[in-house]
Chain A
Amino acid sequence: MNFIDGIGMISPQQTLVPGRFPDDVVEYTADFLKCIEPVYKTYIDPIPLRRMSRLIRMGISSARICLADAGIAMPDAIITGTGLGSVEDTEKILSDISKEEKFLNPTPFIQSTYNTISSQIAIHLKCHNYNTTYVHRTFSFESGLIDGMLQLGEGSSTRVLVGGIDEMTLNHLNITRRIGLWKRQPVNNLQLLNSRTPGALAGEGAAFFLISADRSDHSYARLRDVSTLIDIRGSYRRDQAIRNFLLQNQLQPEDIDLLIVGISGDAVFDPVYHQFASDFFPNAPLAWYKHLCGEYHTSTGFALYTAAQILKSQECPEILLLNHKAPSRLKNILIYNQFRNINHSFLLVSFPD
């Protein structure tokens, strides 16, 4: 069995202290939700820190918060997922190339490679163990979890560090708004569902988890299963996939005490979640999280943070609930996220008994 034993979460909310939900929700009216960043020199030496771009800083810091939370110095594997890597560095290069194709400073190029965060964490920890990076849109973090669970299953590792990290920039927001991903106007994150317009509210985050093969007295939750499904040809394979997923985990729909979905305020794709909930879990309390962190490729890191805290504290904050049904029991939580109705992912977490 696999347990979540440590969390490090940098997000647009006050999530820097693991182990409890923030007291207050941060409200924004913005084009996208930006992370509340820690004092980096707490986690990173000042000399390397100076040259590091923002995503790398967020990644290393959240990894360190996570390891400290778990009380572990050296993980058996370091696995990261990132949909876009360091957008800031990539943009610097693209902007230089499109002008006169001269750039002499290699730092943005080095930092633009997607594995920079996983290898920087390894360098900081002097960790020679298994190290890899997944870069597949909304499967990036999930692929990392699947690999981490494989590692634990193989018996070569007992404690793996898995993270999902993504950032947003104004340029990237403007570019990807052209293909319909985002809202055209700034919106209030707490009024997101009232907007009823196409496109999501963009966000960002860095979430790390220490997944352990052994339960400890501070385990947050049991990470039971993670599954990704690609439905490129619109063949409605998702419905069969969720049935199989429950079956493999020997669960009935009634066993799901809380369904956390990736509703993002996008009038085009939110119906996918509502349909899913009513088709398969009509009686389950429904929760969401993207009003707190925004939409990004590794947002299920925030969802997993949320689920783990709920299971540990055995309470579900009101701000998360969507259908006014408070969960009567908190044993099994299912997270469902999708992107363009093509990339679907399921994450199952349970009380760590």
Chain B
Amino acid sequence: MPQRILVTGYGIISSIGNTVQECYQSMIAGVPGIGRICNIDTVLRDELIVGEVKRTLPELLDMAGIEPEEGYSRNTVLGIIASSEAFHHARLHENRQLRTGLISATTVGGMDRCELFYNDFLTNETRNAYIDSYDCADSTERIASRLNLTDFITTISTACSSAANAILLGARLIQSGKLDRVLAGGCESLTKFHLNGFNSLKILDQKPCRPFDKNRAGINLGEGSAYLVLESEESQKITGNKPICELKGWGNACEAFHQTASSPDGVGAYLAMKKALELSGLKAADIDYINAHGTGTDNNDISEGKAIETLFGNRIPMVSSTKQFTGHTTSAAGSIEAILSILCLEHQVIWPNLNFSEKIDELNFLPVTRLITGEPVCAVMSNSFGFGGNDTSLIFTKI
């Protein structure tokens, strides 16, 4: 019998709240975090709206209790805040004999500082403290250092599925017996680098994004960070932590179709969901809710919708995207949305797919458009798909 993987802690910072509790309150109240760009000096400021954490870098450093010191990028501080919440929730500072890993995910890493200081990097010595933040491992190592997590560390980058793959690797390392518990998730901050990058692909909506709507016009980017604590059952017996839920299945597949577009039939999404379902031992009908990748691009929502129809046939679970609340937090989306999905199990709710008015012609199902309460929620699926067709699906179940 493979080890059960229990979720015993979590932490978030996002545009809808600086803690899990705050995010939950915003979700219940139906208040999205999308708005004007405040913290980045960009020419796109008046064109785009984003899901931004409403704090400046010095304010975030203060919040994290970090002495004003050079070298910290925004994604690192977001990562420290969310990982610390999860760390303390599951009391990872206790029972140090347990082998504890840190698996973090990011794509643009410390680009917020690098893009600001790039000319200095090239011409003078004034910004040397930030040179290390150029690479993705910098945030992970700073988190590891602050939390003293050194039994295993690595960093994953599979674009917008990165944090889901961090959670997936954590589960596999526990099942293989290499680790007892893992802090897994991702951190991403908004940067001119990827605001302009996504803008050049013409997949950003200037209005609030409308996933699964006929008139959807693209993404609202977001930022944030979230981490889960995963433990083996044996570890949980030692720590005495109360399990929040179980990570029951995970699947990773590749579209192998196009670098930035999804295939029309969503083969990668289908395979990822199918693998996760098979591993979980559940039937398709057992899934109560799918927290979709649902970016609001023309391409993703059809592709993902088709894949859901193929896998679930005429018994499609309730489906919604929560990117209307948080924005698309790219590498952090996998863990932020995993936690939003877990909140559905904990509080027996299903999140509404905001901004919906008209069904997509090519799809036969409607997303959930209002907050659902009073219906049993026992198993949820969280989808995260990335550029390059790196698709990952996770299934969480009620204990």
Contact = CB atoms under 8 A, between A and B. Distances in A.
Interface of A: 78, 83-85, 93-98, 100-106, 109-110, 112-116, 118-120, 122-123, 125-137, 139, 143, 146-147, 150, 153-154, 171, 174-176, 178-179, 228-233, 237, 297, 342
Given A97-B193, A118-B388, A119-B387, A137 B254 contact: no
Contacts of B258: 123
A175 B122 contact: yes
Contacts of A179: 128, 131-132
Given A128-B255, A136-B153, A150-B176, 8 more contacts: A104-B200, A109-B198, A113-B388, A125-B256, A131-B252, A132-B252, A139-B155, A233-B145
Contacts of A230: 141, 144, 150, 153
Nearest to B109: A135
Interface in B122-155: 122, 125, 128, 131-132, 134-137, 140-141, 144-145, 148, 150, 152-155
B386 A115 contact: yes
User: DSSP class of A's interface residues: helix, strand, loop or mixed?
Assistant: mixed
B115 interface: yes
A105 B121 CA distance: 24
B238 interface: no
B295 to A, nearest CB: 15
Contact of A150 (B136, B172, B196, B256): B172
Nearest to B129: A179
Most buried by A among B114, B137, B172: B137
Nearest to A126: B256
Most buried by B among A104, A109, A150: A109
A33 B271 CA distance: 42
Contact of A137 (B115, B135, B148, B255): B135
Nearest to A144: B154
Contact of A119 (B125, B155, B388): B388
Contact of A115 (B125, B134, B152, B157): B157
B194 interface: yes
B267 interface: yes
Contact of A153 (B132, B134, B154, B176): B176
B332 to A, nearest CB: 15
Contact of A154 (B118, B172, B267): B172
Interface in B265-305: 267-268, 271
B172 A94 contact: no
A230 B271 CA distance: 35
Contact of A232 (B114, B145, B159): B145
B197 interface: yes
List 5 tightest A-B contacts by C-beta distance, closest first: A119-B388, A109-B197, A131-B254, A114-B157, A136-B155
Contacts of B148: 233
Given A119-B388, A119-B389, A178-B121, A228 B135 contact: no
A178 B43 contact: no
A141 B252 CA distance: 19
Nearest to B197: A109
Contacts of A83: 135, 137
B151 to A, nearest CB: 9
